[in-house]
Amino acid sequence: MTPDATTPGAPPPAPDARHAAARRVRVVLLVLRWLLTLALTLAGLLLVTFVIGRKVPIDPVLAVVGDRASASAYAAARAQLGLDRPLALQFLLYARDVLHGNLGMSLLTSNPVIDDIRRVFPATLELATLSTLIGVLVGVPLGVVAAARHNRWIDHVARFVGLIGNSVPVFWLGMMGLLLFYAKLHWVSGPGRIDPLFDGMVDARTGSLLIDSLIAREWEVFFNALSHIALPAAILGYYSVAYLSRMTRSFMLDQLNHEYITTARAKGVPERRVIWVHAFGNIAVPLLTVIALSYSYLLEGSVLTEIVFAWPGIGSYLTGALLNADMNAVLGSTLVIGATFIALNLLTDALYRVLDPRVR
Amino acid sequence: MRRPAASTPPADPSANPPRRCRDWLLSDAPASRVQAALGYAYRRWTRFASNPLSMFGLAILVLLVIAAALGPLFAPHDPLQQVLPDRLLPPGSPSHWLGTDQLGRDILSRLIYGSRLTLSIAVLVVVVVVPIGLLIGTTAGFFGGWVDVFLMRITDVALAFPKIVLALAFAAALGPGVINAVIAISITAWPAYARLARAETLRYVHADFIHAARLQGASRMRLLLRYIVPLCASSVIVRATLDMAGIVLTVAGLGFLGLGAQPPSPEWGFMVASGRNVLLDAWWVATVPGIAILLVSLAFNLLGDGLRDVFDPRHGD
């Protein structure tokens, strides 16, 4: 780590330096351990998708040669697909392909799966990001206020929101939203990402229609896209609000029971400052990790939401592939969603360790 | 009732006036182990019953169980019978209280029959998942060392997987159907139980009574099955009840995508999906089954919260 400290002939390092060196070693070990966990988990995911791929009731060879092929043609096709090799070797080859970004061809679109996903994933990210934003802007203050006014009406509202958020099927809530806000009240635009009229009017730079249209200063496009994304983002964001307000509330309740809060109140700190500076400052780190976690849940939760709103993201792509037995596309989407989910989860864990001095 | 020991007084003292029965249950000096156990259960029950929300959840679930068990007696119509002239009747129609769907099938009857599917899938998942989680978790916690490291590594890996997406992929690979839905959900549901069981095991494994039992010559198997596993039971039950809420939603989600029970069976999620095409003209076809899903999931959440307050006061607030 510190070459001069260990070079023979150099004066013996001061205790401080030795201490720092030991700490650096520990940090490096932690990072290595974290990377190992990440690699192991991703390998586990790969193994699962590999097993699913082998378990499909449809014989992939028959799909290539047809069911009237001769035995020799069948064997040749089987060998060409690599299915005659030992399973372990097949898995390694599969892992190599995936690591090279080769997820196979989609039967449905006859494009490489990776290209399809690259095309649809930004729409999902845009939806999940906006939903998380709603969740943070509404859920966190709601949780803080609920904890500050424990067992008062606002607290009951927060608990009700959290409870329903745990119990309501997202696809149904989406349909009810469409029924009310689109069909009856005409507050928002219907399914889809944008009206066909505006489709392709702005250059795709970031993949987010909202940001792209802002950059291009196409206000009509921007507001049209906004009216399309508002409802699905609100529905998905509701789950984020439910989760974040519940977690924030319980973190805050925990903090408010501490003695330093009593001390602060006793010495006359205004209540607002006690809540928002003293207590809230101490939950910032766990809150940040919870927000990251909620983002990964939303990525997953977007699958069912996207179907209801015909949102052209990875969820729609995945389910379209599911219903058409397009296994390459199914497994590719599962891998991409899964890898993002895992990476976010573990990043959250790392973030917690880096930011919280007690864990560090 | 779900907890007969708690809700109904034992046969012997029930002959006495209710006041004395209660005194007997709450006695400070129980004369037998049975009395002590019943008294304990009774105290828990009163604590549970004092929360109206938990009781509301319990009531819905009791109704659900009755509907599933005695469905044919209650259902006004055959859930599969198509009466095309009676298509899309709104709720409140005579003899069709909750209306009919596109094929003229009575929605209330379909809901009642569908409760069997929802309930049996949720129960099956728990029956499959809990023993697996208990086995892995208690083994890891009890034996420690490399067994612990190995089992928990696997659990952590599985815990980090996205549940819904993997369940979808499994259901797609296995083909649609009830049993396959159970398998798909189970595969992603067990790690949480393994973690929980391990944590509980670690709380007890160095306790004095375990050492005492070991010194008396109890085998490892006996320690695990007779001492550790029963101690994990309460938190696992709480967890399973809360999990049921999520399982009901996942089952409905799979059904919504057509990966659960196959038509024409009245699976609630699939009923919502079939109402999508007529959402604007006949809102009830999708709305009513959705409310049923919401109520059942809510009931499991409320019941689970109530049980947690009773069994595990540490988490209550």
Q: Which letter does DSSP use for residue B90 in this model?
A: P
Q: Are B255 and B264 in contact (CB under 8 A)?
A: no
Q: Are B155 and A44 in contact (CB under 8 A)?
A: no
- What domains can you pick out in chain A, each with its CATH number? 113-359 (1.10.3720.10)
pLDDT at A60: 65
3-class secondary structure, A99? helix
Contact B249 A176 (CB under 8 A): no
Interface test with A, best of B56, B151, B155, B168 (most A CBs within 10 A): B168
CA distance A189 to A325: 32
Average pLDDT, rounded, for chain A: 83
Residues in chain A: 360
CA distance B47 to B41: 10
Kindly report the number of other CB atoms within 10 A of residue B71's CB atom: 17
Q: Which letter does DSSP use for residue B86 in this model?
A: G
The distance of B94 to chain A (nearest Cα, Å) reads 26
Among the partner-chain residues B153, B166, B279, the one whose CB lies closest to the CB of A334 is B166
Handedness of CA A89, A91, A93, A99 (dihedral sign): negative
Interface test with A, best of B111, B180, B256 (most A CBs within 10 A): B256
Tokens standing for B114? 């569908």
Q: What is the DSSP string of B103-164?
A: T--BHHHHHHHHHHHHHHHHHHHHHHHHHHHHHHHHHHHHH-HHHHHHHHHHHHHHHTS-HH
3-class secondary structure, B93? strand
Among the partner-chain residues A178, A325, A337, the one whose CB lies closest to the CB of B165 is A337
Q: What number is the average pLDDT over the span B29-53?
A: 84
pTM: 0.84
The distance of B298 to chain A (nearest Cα, Å) reads 5
The distance of A330 to chain B (nearest Cα, Å) reads 7
Q: Which long-range contacts (CB under 8 A, 24 or more apart) does B104-107 make?
A: B105/B77, B105/B79, B105/B80, B105/B81, B106/B75, B106/B76, B106/B77, B106/B78, B106/B79, B106/B81, B107/B271, B107/B284, B107/B285, B107/B288, B107/B289
The distance of B107 to chain A (nearest Cα, Å) reads 16
**CB-based contact (8 Å) between A337 and chain B?**
yes
Q: What number is the average pLDDT over the span B116-143?
A: 91
Q: Rounded to 5 degrees, what are φ and ψ at B258?
A: 80, 15
pLDDT at B316: 43
Q: Which residues of chain B neighbour A303 with C-beta distances below 8 Å?
A: 164-165, 168
Q: Which residues of chain A neighbour B175 with C-beta distances below 8 Å?
A: 57
Element (H, E) at A127: helix A113-134
Contact B169 A331 (CB under 8 A): yes
User: Exposure of B314 by Cβ count < 10 A (0-12 exposed, 13-18 middle, 19+ buried)?
Assistant: exposed
Q: Which residues of chain B neighbour A182 with C-beta distances below 8 Å?
A: none
Q: What number is the average pLDDT over the span B230-257?
A: 88
Q: What number is the average pLDDT over the span A289-316?
A: 87
Contact B279 A250 (CB under 8 A): no
pLDDT at A141: 94
**CB-based contact (8 Å) between B153 and chain A?**
yes
Q: What number is the average pLDDT over the span B48-52?
A: 85
Among the partner-chain residues A168, A250, A304, the one whose CB lies closest to the CB of B294 is A168
Residue B121 in this model has a pLDDT that exceeds 80? yes
pLDDT at A138: 95
Residue B299 in this model has a pLDDT that exceeds 90? yes
Please give the share of chain B, as a percent, with pLDDT higher than 90.
17
Does this complex have an ipTM over 0.90?
A: no
Q: Chain A residue with minimal CA distance to B279?
A: A179
The distance of B241 to chain A (nearest Cα, Å) reads 13
A202 contact partners, CB below 8 Å, separation of at least 6: A209, A212, A213, A215, A216, A218, A221
Q: Which long-range contacts (CB under 8 A, 24 or more apart) does A152-155 make?
A: A155/A249
Q: Which letter does DSSP use for residue B286 in this model?
A: H
Q: Chain A residue with minimal CA distance to B280?
A: A179
Contact B302 A319 (CB under 8 A): no
Contact A175 B272 (CB under 8 A): yes
Among the partner-chain residues A304, A323, A330, the one whose CB lies closest to the CB of B253 is A304
**CB-based contact (8 Å) between A304 and chain B?**
yes
Element (H, E) at B313: none
CA distance A351 to A355: 6
**CB-based contact (8 Å) between A253 and chain B?**
yes
pLDDT at B9: 46
**CB-based contact (8 Å) between A47 and chain B?**
no
Residue B206 in this model has a pLDDT that exceeds 90? no
Q: Mutual orientation of helices B284-311 and B107-143 as an angle, nearest 10°?
A: 30
pLDDT single digits (tens) A259-280: 998 899 899 889 888 888 888 9
A15 contact partners, CB below 8 Å, separation of at least 6: none
* pLDDT bucket at B145, cuts 50 / 70 / 90: confident
Contact A346 B156 (CB under 8 A): no
Residue B317 in this model has a pLDDT that exceeds 50? no
- Please state the separation of Cα B112 from the chain's center in Å: 18
pLDDT at A3: 44
Q: Which residues pair with B93 in a beta bridge?
A: B96
The distance of A267 to chain B (nearest Cα, Å) reads 27
* pLDDT bucket at A168, cuts 50 / 70 / 90: very high
CA distance A232 to A238: 10
End-to-end CA distance of chain A: 19
Q: Chain B residue with minimal CA distance to A329?
A: B169
Query: Tokens 């079939």 belong to which residue?
Result: B274
Q: Which residues pair with B96 in a beta bridge?
A: B93
Average pLDDT, rounded, for chain B: 83
Among the partner-chain residues A40, A169, A308, the one whose CB lies closest to the CB of B249 is A169
pLDDT at B282: 85
pLDDT at A242: 93
- Please state the separation of Cα B206 from the chain's center in Å: 31
User: Exposure of A272 by Cβ count < 10 A (0-12 exposed, 13-18 middle, 19+ buried)?
Assistant: exposed
* pLDDT bucket at B303, cuts 50 / 70 / 90: very high
Q: Chain B residue with minimal CA distance to A168?
A: B294
CA distance A337 to B163: 11
Q: Are B248 and B297 in contact (CB under 8 A)?
A: yes
Q: Chain A residue with minimal CA distance to B252?
A: A169
Interface test with A, best of B157, B183, B276, B298 (most A CBs within 10 A): B157
**CB-based contact (8 Å) between A211 and chain B?**
no
Which residue from B255, B274, B264, B291 is spatially nearest to B88, judged by alpha carbons? B274
CA distance B223 to B204: 11
Among the partner-chain residues A176, A303, A330, the one whose CB lies closest to the CB of B287 is A176
pLDDT at A329: 87
**CB-based contact (8 Å) between B160 and chain A?**
yes
For residues A307 and B17, the model is more confident at A307
Taking every pair of Cα atoms in chain A, the longest distance, rounded to a whole number of angstroms, is 90
Among the partner-chain residues B153, B170, B302, the one whose CB lies closest to the CB of A52 is B170
Contact A179 B280 (CB under 8 A): yes
The least confident of A135-144, A197-206, B11-20 is B11-20
Taking every pair of Cα atoms in chain B, the longest distance, rounded to a whole number of angstroms, is 76
A191 contact partners, CB below 8 Å, separation of at least 6: A178, A308, A309, A310, A311
Contact A331 B258 (CB under 8 A): no
Q: What number is the average pLDDT over the span A297-321?
A: 87
Residue B1 in this model has a pLDDT that exceeds 70? no
Buried b (16+ CB within 10 A) or exposed e, A109-137: beebbbebbebbbbbbbbbbbbbbebbbe
Top mean-pLDDT range of A30-44, A127-141, B172-186: A127-141
**CB-based contact (8 Å) between A129 and chain B?**
no
pLDDT at A15: 65
- Please state the separation of Cα B181 from the chain's center in Å: 16
**CB-based contact (8 Å) between B294 and chain A?**
yes
The one-letter amino acid at A129? T
Give ∠ CA B191-B193-B198 in degrees, rounded to 5: 100
Tokens standing for A138? 């509404």
CA distance B7 to B253: 35
Q: Which residues pair with B106 in a beta bridge?
A: B100
Interface test with A, best of B111, B149, B165 (most A CBs within 10 A): B165
Q: Are B242 and B230 in contact (CB under 8 A)?
A: no
Residue A80 in this model has a pLDDT that exceeds 80? no
